[in-house]
Amino acid sequence: MDFETRIYLFAGFLESGKSTFINDTVVNTNFCDGERSVLVICEEGEVEYKTSELEDHDTHLVLVEDQSELTLDFWNKIREEYHPTQVLVEYNGMWNTDDFINSDKPAGWEVVQILTTIDASKFTYFVNNTNMRSLLYQHCYRSDVIIFNRFPEGSKKSPFRNNIRAMNQQCQIIYELPDGTIDNSQNEELPYDYKPHDLDIQDHDFGVFCYDCMEHPERYDNKHIRIKGKFIGKDSVQENGFILGRYAMVCCEQDTSLIGLICISKEYRDKLIPDEWIIVEGDTHIAYDEEYGQNIVLLDVTKLEGTKPLDYEYVTFD
């Protein structure tokens, strides 16, 4: 679809690397070549923009001090003065991104991409702090690209990736090392050995296991699995299928994300009740799922038993 003006929204907390990322995008790439661009700054970070450099790339700087300024009249004035083909918005990290996305804009102006920057050194604090996690969720859950800045070289990516995946299944995740280079390494140790035929998935590995099944289904073909979770309900696609799952807290206890595995059992499916805790044992196979558009792991149940709930039911990725 062709838009009159494309809007790129840059989210993230203050000093998360937004300004550096935007400046590099404008000045050091061809992103603004052949475009009439406006950069709307909603908070002033540690990196100052050089107006002359921006103007060399036909990019005009506009400062916004209060969220209430982002009205339809504001955008119409931008349109009349600059006639932009694209607008880059450095959004205030304490403002709700939904407010921006849902606000009135001129006809033909659309948010086409949301990019979120996160300081990797502070990520664990954000996740573990209830108030900050709520704000982080607002930044991430609709983002198309998430960039971890200052990512410690050699660190495991799974705690970062899996916490983000609980908020947003579809986004691209980029890991930028302190020297500015991108970490594209794929090799990473799991907290368990996936190679044996028989796997007894520990409760604290539930989320990591389910996400690894999604990303690498071939690892889990023709395995014998034992795993504990809740009966979430019947699967609407797989015949005789039901979902064994648990929830990850993405914002608060009222806002969670389901993580799970599809199990196949004609015998047990209709005997279970929602939220019943069970231990499932069975043999896996790989099948193509049209809903996900990829191969997925299915567990053919050979044994099932009830069990007591976990003391802490939510999935963690520590």
**Domain membership flag for residue 182:** no
Indicate the number of domains in the chain: 2
pLDDT (0 to 100) of residue 46 = 67
Whether the per-residue pLDDT at 318 is higher than 70: the answer is no
Mean local confidence (pLDDT), 223-235: 96
**Domain membership flag for residue 193:** no
Q: Mapped to the 3 state alphabet, what secondary structure does 194-253 carry? A: CCCCEEECCHHHHHHHHHHHHHCHHHHCCCEEEEEEEEEEECCCCCCEEEEEEEEEEEEC
Whether the per-residue pLDDT at 1 is higher than 60: the answer is no
Strands 241-252 and 224-234: what pairing?
antiparallel
Q: What is the spatial distance between Cα 198 and Cα 190, in angstroms, rounded to a whole number?
A: 16
Give the residue among 87, 34, 80 at the shortest CA–CA distance from 64. Answer: 87
Give the residue among 110, 100, 88, 112 at the shortest CA–CA distance from 21. Answer: 88
Can you state the angle between helices 158-167 and 130-140, rounded to 10 degrees?
70
For residues 207 and 165, state if they share a domain: no
**Domain membership flag for residue 15:** yes
For residues 162 and 112, state if they share a domain: yes
For residues 159 and 202, state if they share a domain: no
Phi and psi of 52, rounded to 5°? -65, -40
Measured CA angle at 211 (ends 133, 226), to 5 deg: 120
Is the Cβ–Cβ distance between 113 and 10 less than 8 Å?
no
pLDDT (0 to 100) of residue 122 = 93
CATH number at residue 223: 2.40.50.140
Q: What is the spatial distance between Cα 38 and Cα 84, in angstroms, rounded to a whole number?
A: 6
For residues 285 and 145, state if they share a domain: no
For residues 137 and 209, state if they share a domain: no
For residues 171 and 25, state if they share a domain: yes
pLDDT (0 to 100) of residue 252 = 61
**Domain membership flag for residue 181:** no
For residues 17 and 153, state if they share a domain: yes
For residues 154 and 14, state if they share a domain: yes
Q: Which pTM value belongs to this model?
A: 0.74
User: Which whole-number Å values give the CA distances from 103 to 58, 87, 100, 111, in the listed order?
Assistant: 26, 15, 5, 11
pLDDT (0 to 100) of residue 254 = 62
**Domain membership flag for residue 192:** no
Q: pLDDT: is 104 or 316 the higher one? A: 104
The tens digit of pLDDT for each residue in 5-21 reads 999 999 999 889 999 99
For residues 159 and 298, state if they share a domain: no
Which residues lie closer than 8 Å to 312 by C-beta, 6 or more apart? none
Q: What is the spatial distance between Cα 281 and Cα 262, in angstroms, rounded to a whole number?
A: 12
CATH number at residue 141: 3.40.50.300
The tens digit of pLDDT for each residue in 274-292 reads 999 999 999 999 999 887 7
Give the residue among 244, 235, 257 at the shortest CA–CA distance from 163. Answer: 257
Domain assignment of residue 53, given as a range: 5-175
For residues 166 and 257, state if they share a domain: no
Is the Cβ–Cβ distance between 180 and 148 less than 8 Å?
no
**Domain membership flag for residue 110:** yes
For residues 126 and 30, state if they share a domain: yes
The beta strands (E) that lie in the chain are given as: 5-11, 37-41, 59-63, 86-90, 109-119, 145-149, 172-175, 198-200, 224-234, 241-252, 255-264, 277-289, 294-306
Give the residue among 76, 45, 80 at the shortest CA–CA distance from 63. Answer: 45
pLDDT (0 to 100) of residue 272 = 94
pLDDT band at 257 (very low <50, low <70, confident <90, very high): confident
Amino acid of residue 266: K
**Domain membership flag for residue 318:** no
For residues 147 and 32, state if they share a domain: yes
**Domain membership flag for residue 245:** yes
